[in-house]
Amino acid sequence: MKKHIKLTFLMIIVLISASVITYHIIWTIRLRNIPASIKSQTEAVLKAYQWSKLTGSYWENKLQDQVEKIRVLPLDVRLIFYQEILLACDLDTSRGTIFIEAVGNDAEPFHANLSKYVNDPKFLSLRKEEQNKILGWRDVMEIIVQQQTHMKLPRK
C-alpha cells in the first residue's frame, strides 16, 4: 500500500514538473521574436488574457498598465507591442475601445504599420482569422485617424 502511494505521489510530481516545463517552453517560443524592451510587458498582457479565458477575470487593466510602461519607448517598439496584442487577444466590444484608447496618438503610425504589413509576405503566413483581424483593425485605425485629424482641425 505504501509503495502504491509513493508511486502515485511520484507520478503527480512528474506530471506537475512536466506541466511547468511545458508552460515555460510555450511562453519562451511565443515571445521569442519580441524585442527585449517590451517582452515583459507583452508577456504580462498575454498571460493575463490567457488567465481570463480560464477564469473570466478582467485582463484589460493589465493592458492599460503595460501601455503606460511602453509609452516612453520608441514608436517602432510600441507598434510591435500593439500588433502582438491585436493578434493574440479578442478585442471585441469594450476591449476594442480600451485597445483604441491604448493605441491613442499612435493610431496613425499603427494604421500605416498594419497597411504595410498586409503587403508583407509574413501576412500570408498568418491564419485566415489573423489576416481578417489585421484587415479589420487596419480599417478601424483608419477611421480613428480620420477622427483624430478632424478633432485637430481649427474651428471656424
Residues in the chain, pLDDT under 50: 155-156
Side-chain-side CA neighbours of 154 within 13 Å: the count stands at 1
* Interval 68-110: pLDDT, tens: 999 999 999 999 999 999 999 999 888 999 999 999 999 999 9
What pLDDT does residue 23 have? 60
Model confidence, pTM: 0.81
Q: What is the pLDDT of residue 149?
A: 84
SS3 content of the chain, % helix, strand, coil (to 5): 85, 0, 15
Domain residue spans of the chain: 1-30, 36-152
pLDDT value of residue 26? 65
Report the C-alpha gap between 40 and 34 in whole angstroms.
Answer: 9
- Torsional class of 58: left (φ above 0), alpha (ψ -120 to 50), beta (otherwise): beta
Q: How high is the pLDDT of residue 120?
A: 94
d(CA 13, CA 47): 24
